[in-house]
Amino acid sequence: MTQPQVKKDIRKASLKELKDFLKEQNEKPFKAKQINEWLWKKSVQSFDEMTNLSIKLRETLTNHYEFRPVSIGTSQVSNDNTVKYAFSLADKNDVEGVLIPTDTRMTACISSQVGCSLTCKFCATGYMDRKRNLDAAEIYDQVVLIKNEAEERYNHSLTNIVYMGMGEPLLNYKSVLDSVELITSENGLGMSPKRITVSTAGIAKMIKKLGDDEVKFNLALSLHAANDEKRNQIMPINESNTLEALKESLLYYYDKTKNKITFEYIVFNKFNDGIEDARELYEFAKQIPSKINIIEYNPIAQADYLNAEKDAIDKFAEYLEKRKIVVNVRRSRGKDIDAACGQLAGKLKK
């Protein structure tokens, strides 16, 4: 019995592969560029939508290729209008993403892996297994879906993208950079890389690779403690990527890109919210061109950490500001639906 032909995902075909395929089919190679435009600029999800291609070519493409798009399985709206999405992947896995609307921004928070392997103690995703990396198209699809939602729900285009959802982006390096290219290219969505932030828990050698690749997007480091002993407790990755190693990699990255670093610092009650903690953070941050985002903690069922008291947060920020450090205190969005920082754990089901 003849086995049915396994079709290839059209969005994993390179431009060269498409040109070669078209030649084999006695079609003009320039049509590969048209196909790419439909895929990445117009974000179509069927060959029938490629209306400047002949019906015959569309049928040929359908016989050899298929789409494996991401779709919205379900969504949930917070009291503050933040929207959390469960995205369904073609292989039946799910990841989560968030649309965060404010008066000045419309931000998409997207995932780079199904689950995570880093086991950060305060993060719900860290208690999940890492099942696999997302490919570039799956990351791109999240952006397109949230972009469409922003326009439909709030009549506002997407302004910013943060790779701060499920997974560690630098452990899915190629797909993340490929997705940024699709999002920023004039042949893709055409967004400015300055409106994209990739957040890492701190993989020193990959931060250096970002420098070598002279990336144009913003880099954020989830720091959360500025001494190794405390950081080891909450982020096991620090044992193999110490603060000294991270400092060296960040300075290398800055030297190559001239992009300032953003340090993300979640303040936990009576753990890292004291003036001594602020002093240690200042001593670390002053060595690296940077700014600091102080982030409220969003408790999760798996951990006993609590958010710092408001008075402690204010004193912490004031200590840094007096020493000319640029500080932003970020208030939580979407925590009533487990959509806030550190809360994504695949609980939003279809």
Which whole number is the average pLDDT over 107-119?
94
Q: Is the pLDDT of residue 305 over 80?
A: yes
Chain segment 141-162, per-residue pLDDT in tens = 999 999 999 999 999 999 999 9
Taking the CA of residue 184 as centre, how many other CA atoms within 13 Å lie in the half-sphere pointing to its CB?
Answer: 17
pLDDT for position 350: 45
pLDDT for position 301: 77
**Average pLDDT in the chain:** 92
pLDDT for position 164: 94
Out of 118-132, 280-294, 328-342, the most confident range is 280-294
- Report the DSSP beta bridge partners of residue 85: 75, 97
Listing from the earlier edge strand, what are the strands of the sheet with 71-77?
A: 71-77, 83-88, 94-101, 106-109, 160-163, 196-200, 218-222, 261-267, 290-296, 327-330
Residue 298: pLDDT band with limits 50, 70, 90: confident
Q: Is the pLDDT of residue 342 over 70?
A: no
pLDDT for position 19: 97
pLDDT for position 300: 80
Q: Dihedrals φ, ψ of 7, to 5°?
A: -80, 145
Residue 162's nearest CA partner among 143, 189, 144 is 143
Q: Dihedrals φ, ψ of 329, to 5°?
A: -95, 115
C-beta of residue 113 within 8 angstroms of C-beta of residue 129: no
Radius of gyration of the chain (CA): 22
Q: How far apart are CA 76 and CA 98, in angstroms?
A: 10
Q: Is the pLDDT of residue 63 over 80?
A: yes
pLDDT for position 302: 81
C-beta of residue 82 within 8 angstroms of C-beta of residue 337: yes
pLDDT for position 325: 95
Task: Tell me the domains of the chain and their CATH numbers.
Answer: 8-66 (1.10.150.530), 71-337 (3.20.20.70)
What number of H helices and E strands is found in the chain? 10, 14
Q: Which two tokens stand for residue 222?
A: 């989830």
pLDDT for position 129: 84
Look up 229 and say whether it is catalytic.
Answer: no
| Percentage of the chain lying above the pLDDT 70 cut | 93
The dihedral built from the CA positions of residue 199, 203, 206 and 210, taken in this order, carries a sign that is positive
Q: Is the pLDDT of residue 349 over 60?
A: no
Look up 17 and say whether it is catalytic.
Answer: no
Q: Is the pLDDT of residue 133 over 80?
A: yes
Q: Torsion angle, CA of 228/233/236/239, rounded to 10 degrees?
A: 30
From the candidates 109, 120, 123, 341, give the one annotated as an active-site residue: 341
From the candidates 27, 66, 96, 138, give the one annotated as an active-site residue: 96
A 10 A CB-CB count for 10 gives 21
**Helix 275-285 and helix 310-322: axis angle, to 10°?**
40
Q: Which two tokens stand for residue 139?
A: 């990351």
